[in-house]
Amino acid sequence: MRLTKRIAILGSTGSIGQNALKVLAALGDGYRLQSLAAGKDIRALLKQIRRFRPKRVALFDPGAAKKLCARMPRARPQILTGLDGLCELARDPEADLIVLSLVGAVGLAPLLAALRAGKTVALANKEPMVMAGELLMEEAHRHGAQILPVDSEPSAIFQCLPPHCVARGSASQTIEKILLTASGGPFLRSNGSLKHISVKQALRHPNWKMGPKITIDSATLMNKGFEAIEIKNLFRLRMEQIEVLIHPQSILHSAVEFRDGSILAQMSRPDMRLPIQYALTFPERATLRTVAPVNLASLRNLEFDRPDLGQFPCLKLALAAGRRGGVYPAALSAADEVAVSSFLNAGLRFTDIHRVVAETLSDLERMKGVARSHPSLEDLVEMDQWARQKAEEKVRKLV
């Protein structure tokens, strides 16, 4: 008899969270929603509670949690608040699979809580893997937990790799390199200055519909650098084994080149429901067709090109931080979070996103007495705080 998989979705009101609920509803029998968590969007959360009837709910913002309680006087799920509430759901003994689709470094503590409880985590929230991926993989190994990538490119690579390679962490012995594809975002073909790009223009991604932070990270290509670091950590590779390729059609979501010369790639329409479904149903591949397949005969051409690092300086910064390792990726991710939020909400120029991150990393370079390699988790959390503060100072001078 097949057991029901009980799912917790942390970040349920966002783009990935909503898609995860659509997939869950389509999968039907054999899957049940255990809990939901979000930041503060009680309107969206209320609708989800009424439709999916989770046992437990967490809201990061205590004020929003109070309002939610007031709006649901009877027959409501247990409501938790704050980071502790999110961590509680992440380690819930009644949840079999945790979908982590929060955005930013806030996901680190719930991810750690889930891994330490030996959970299987369907991971979309890439920032914690950028910040502390090596340590998180060690925690997963120590507690018998598993991370299933949801991000389309890491998922493509996961789907192309033999499972025993992933389980043993021995992918680097079989792989020559990873071909990590990037659409190039909305400004790939723009040859003028991007100084006066508006928020609206930057949010217009040609192929993907996503939350605001990742959409801006995709426009600067910082997102591709984050993915390179995420992939390095997930599959225990060297940064030198990861090659970024611009592929404007977003049909081939990444490929693995093996030592024997074979290349395996995963192809599908750009729709996050497919990698989410793969993670929810893993190790099975569901027969349910949520996304129509690509019609190869109708494709005119698939283009691949090397990125111009001069045009996309954020990608250059991220790849360099990934190669340096240690505390650098944590500083990179934290400074980017501040810079992107300031572009979206506080009038920072699009081109100053790079400037804020680059200057923060330069300050780190000059700082004395910092253990830059082999950091502990505490060192990384401290670095996150330090880089945020530095980046905020830089933003204040620019807006």
Ligand X SMILES: NC(=O)c1ccc[n+]([C@@H]2O[C@H](COP(=O)([O-])OP(=O)(O)OC[C@H]3O[C@@H](n4cnc5c(N)ncnc54)[C@H](OP(=O)(O)O)[C@@H]3O)[C@@H](O)[C@H]2O)c1
Q: Where do contacts with ligand X occur on this chain (CB under 6 A)?
A: 11-17, 38-41, 60, 86, 101-103, 106, 124-127, 151, 208, 210-214, 272
If one counts every other C-beta atom within 10 angstroms of the C-beta of residue 355, the result is 16
In this complex, which beta carbon is closest to ligand X, that of residue 101 or of residue 281? 101
Separation CA 59–CA 321 (nearest Å): 33
Cβ at position 44, least distance to ligand X in Å: 6
Cβ at position 102, least distance to ligand X in Å: 4
Cβ at position 290, least distance to ligand X in Å: 14
**Residue closest to ligand X, measured at CB:** 14
Query: Which neighbouring-strand residues pair with 160?
Result: none
In this complex, which beta carbon is closest to ligand X, that of residue 46 or of residue 398? 46
In this complex, which beta carbon is closest to ligand X, that of residue 63 or of residue 144? 63
Under a CB-based contact definition with an 8 Å cutoff, are residues 332 and 321 in contact?
yes
Under a CB-based contact definition with an 8 Å cutoff, are residues 221 and 315 in contact?
yes
In this complex, which beta carbon is closest to ligand X, that of residue 213 or of residue 316? 213
Residue with tokens 């995860």: 20
Cβ at position 354, least distance to ligand X in Å: 18
Cβ at position 81, least distance to ligand X in Å: 10
Under a CB-based contact definition with an 8 Å cutoff, are residues 219 and 187 in contact?
yes
**Residue 347, both tokens:** 């009038």
In this complex, which beta carbon is closest to ligand X, that of residue 14 or of residue 184? 14
Cβ at position 148, least distance to ligand X in Å: 13
Distance of CA 345 to the CA centre of its chain: 21
In this complex, which beta carbon is closest to ligand X, that of residue 124 or of residue 136? 124
Report which of 249, 254, 225 is spatially closest to residue 324, judged by C-alpha positions: 225
Cβ at position 46, least distance to ligand X in Å: 11
In this complex, which beta carbon is closest to ligand X, that of residue 186 or of residue 359? 186
Under a CB-based contact definition with an 8 Å cutoff, are residues 341 and 287 in contact?
no
Under a CB-based contact definition with an 8 Å cutoff, are residues 227 and 162 in contact?
no
In this complex, which beta carbon is closest to ligand X, that of residue 12 or of residue 360? 12
Cβ at position 372, least distance to ligand X in Å: 25
Judging by beta carbons within 10 Å of its beta carbon (0-12, 13-18, 19+), is residue 273 exposed, middle or buried?
Answer: middle
Under a CB-based contact definition with an 8 Å cutoff, are residues 385 and 335 in contact?
no
b/e 282-303 (16+ beta carbons within 10 angstroms → b): beeeeeeeebeebeeeeeeeee
Separation CA 34–CA 269 (nearest Å): 30
Query: Which neighbouring-strand residues pair with 122?
Result: 99, 148
Cβ at position 14, least distance to ligand X in Å: 2
CA angle at 35 for the pair 341 and 150, rounded to the nearest 5°: 55
In this complex, which beta carbon is closest to ligand X, that of residue 33 or of residue 359? 33
User: Which amino acid would we find at residue 238?
Assistant: R
Under a CB-based contact definition with an 8 Å cutoff, are residues 7 and 148 in contact?
no
